[in-house]
Structure 1
Amino acid sequence: MGSFLAAAVQLTSTPDPDANFASAEEQIELAARRGAELVGLPENFAFMGEDEQRLELAPFLAERCSSFLVTMARRYQVTLLGGGFPVPAEPGQTFNRAELVGTEGQLLARYDKIHLFDVDLPDGNTYRESATVQPGDHLPPVVDVPGLGRIGLSICYDVRFPELYRHLAQAGADVLFVPAAFTAFTGKDHWQVLLQARAIENTAYVVAPAQTGQHYGRRQSHGHALVIDPWGTVLADAGVSVSAAIAPIDPGHAQRVRAQMPSLRHRRPALF
């Protein structure tokens, strides 16, 4: 298997789904034109707005997001991750779901976010994701995609739970997807260092699509969609604009890093 280009798309999603889908398609097309074969959209790519509106739109968004991913993957001949969109769950709640779709429109993997962001930040913002989001009850999958290797899924706040990524690494993941809508306040200190840690400790590539800028009210995201190699080197950074971080994924490089730093083989889990 040779190297290929991966794109971590960066968006400023709003409460307007039509505008969000149009912006997402524009970035998918641009990434495909640059040669990307693996493309990831961020968490909340189709909608960033108040919880009440999200709950109202959830049945429509769930259907449209899945259909959009199939259409885009086929149209631009990319393997495409929709990094998180609402799907109806219990009354008054949704799942936050990621779907990975192949170039023929086939569903390759699905994951409902299990770690929910319930935090009071010093900047005055309070987040209670669990108030309207139901956590998934299955660990994220690793899927073998011909020509692209083994890809593991996660979503945003998951990045603070290293045991989840160790599960993905033990399942053979070569590429770790971390689509996110990381807050501006936490992102400036934690986003890049957490992603680099997940790459280094699992000797895997990290592809991290992101939200950026002002979405609605006081909701602001950090940006800096990243592609990071297994040594922890940042290969591409989208900055704070609507764009994409695009960089090569080289399986040979990953094998060399794992040979030089065989920490996964040195684990002694029986002691823990």
Structure 2
Amino acid sequence: MSMKKILVLTDPSENAPDLTQAAAKLANELHCDVLLFSVYQSIPMTTFYGASPWINGNDASWQQESNDKLSVIAFELRAFILLSLPGERWRPEVTFHCEAGDLSDNLKNVLESENIEMIVMGASKQSGFKHFLFGKNTNLVVSNATRPVLILPGKFEFKDVQKVLFATDFSVSDLKAVNLLAKYAEALHFDLELVHVEDIEDKQSEENVSKQVFLNMLEDINHPNLTHLEIHGKNVVQSLKRLCSRQGIDMLALLHHQDALLIRMLKSSTTKNILDQQTLPVIVFPSKMK
């Protein structure tokens, strides 16, 4: 099997060294290579009555321009890795690729053809959470991903991550994400805390059964700094936000699937306003994760 890679989704027109350098540091710790990837919109063929289709010559130049810009970003990232990252154990290799067309289709192709450990992308300049929840590109990526998606705000460094909070509803499907998070916690040296926000007005019987099954299976995950807690609140997002602030949480993690209570609440207009100024990085584990 080929070497695992961190897939960095980048826009060649906006060289973002904070994003690519953070991805390189992550790759260094996880012993992965880095694949820079972008898409560009091709120019459709122009047809004439009674004549064959004619392809606008600018399409090739757009591809060349995208390749040239990605090449510069890759060169600068290789220089950063050589000068800034220790190479005694591992030093990531950097490759790049761009394709014409739709982001979701191209992402599926890359995930099928490459051995991707994680997808890394930048958050909106306005707000990390706002872009995560409502940004078109981020929604496309999260909807089509089969590997974890890490969404980073600007000026982010992995050395700042000491505690990660995983929001759970005690679903057994969360355990696959927790297992992988525990692996990342060991490599990146952060503490992992699981939290469940309990609505005090909900009926408890069914949830208590799920909770006990979840906690029993959680005992099989071998990580010394894994803890869990429950908090009470009528609003999941407000409760999580207060907890992140109170406990100095550096990153929020969650499982993304269609019927998740957390995802439903995050999509509401009220919580959108609450999280507009949120700047924490978010790692999303898709339910169809391979």
Normalising by structure 2, we get a TM-score of: 0.29
Q: Which has the larger radius of gyration?
A: 2
Normalising by structure 1, we get a TM-score of: 0.31
* Between structures 1 and 2, the one with greater helix share: 2
* Between structures 1 and 2, the one with greater strand share: 1
